[in-house]
Amino acid sequence: MSPVPDEMMPATPPSMHDPYLKHDQRLTTAVHVLGTEARALSYLTRLYEIDPVARGAFSQAVDVITKCMEQRGAIVICGVGKSGCIAKKIVATMNSLRISASFLHPTNALHGDLGKVGDYDVILMITFSGRTPELLQLIPHLNSSLPLLVVTAHTHPSTCAIVNARPDTILLPAPIHESESQSFGVSAPTTSTTISLALGDALAVAVSNELHSSVAAVFARYHPGGATGHATQGPNA
């Protein structure tokens, strides 16, 4: 019997140590993550285009923060874990746009840092679940006359534990189109923190536009360093 022609022989499966296979797998993962987060941002954008609860809450949030700034108050942003990291970035963005902001860790707040909260401040909590224990423990110790905002996955105040604990809370919905476990097989904060950050940026820019006749001029003044500062100062800076 004649030997089987080479072209009919079964192909050798690629080795799991094949560098080209690893390259493809990595890029497939990257594209999946980027695409998923882009879809989440599109989902959030659409929500704020059409949903009356989200749109009304956002406008109300801009109003109370603007009033707070006019009274020389500040926005105090709270979060735990990855949400705390997002809170710190939003604080930095707001300060660069001359919106007075500071970060408050809820546990430290219960051990003396509540002293940094002023009489004309606004509190913003970031919690995807809407029921972070440390934030719930903090609420009874906050001055009830201070406006409270919450960025959370909940799309209606009636389902959020933070709002249940403080009914006058302004709820800023930040849901995702599918769970992170469904998207990536793990519930690590990824998509949820991306949209919280984006909503914080939207709030910062909207408030800055209300407060300043030239946001670009304000940013140039408060960000003189680095390549960004050089660009805002012009080529002769």
CA distance 128 to 132: 8
Would residue 166 count as lying in a domain? yes
SS (H, E, C) 212-229: CCCHHHHHHHHCCCHHHH
Domain that holds residue 218: 23-233
> Which residues 6+ apart lie within 8 Å of 73 measured at CB?
100, 118, 119, 120, 121, 122
**Whole-number pLDDT of residue 236:** 46
Reading the block at residue 188, the tokens are 């690590």
Give the number of other CB atoms < 10 A from CB of residue 160: 21
Q: Is residue 18 part of a domain?
A: no
Domain annotation covers residue 196: yes
pLDDT (0 to 100) of residue 20: 76
Quote the pLDDT of residue 212.
82
Determine the pLDDT at residue 237. Answer: 41
Alpha carbon distances (Å) from 68 to 62, 83, 227: 10, 23, 32
Residue 15 lies in a domain: no
pTM: predicted TM-score of the whole model, two decimal places: 0.85
* CATH, residue 171: 3.40.50.10490
Amino acid making up residue 214? S
The answer to the question of residue 10 being in a domain is no
In a domain, 177, yes or no: yes
Residue 227: Cβ-neighbour burial (10 angstroms; 0-12, 13-18, 19+):
exposed
Coil vs helix vs strand at 233: helix
Phi, psi of 170 (to 5 degrees): -90, 115
Residue 16's pLDDT is 56
Q: What's the domain count of the chain?
A: 1
**For the chain, first and last CA: distance in Å?**
84
> For residues 31-68, b (16+ Cβ closer than 10 Å) or e, as one string?
eeeeebbeebbeebeebbeeeeebeebbeebbebbbeb
Mean pLDDT by 10 residues, the chain (237 residues): 54 64 92 98 98 97 96 97 97 94 97 96 98 98 97 97 98 97 95 98 95 76 61 51
The pLDDT value recorded for residue 70 is 94
In a domain, 116, yes or no: yes
Residue 225: its pLDDT value, please? Answer: 62
Q: Is residue 69 part of a domain?
A: yes
- Tell me what pLDDT residue 217 has: 76
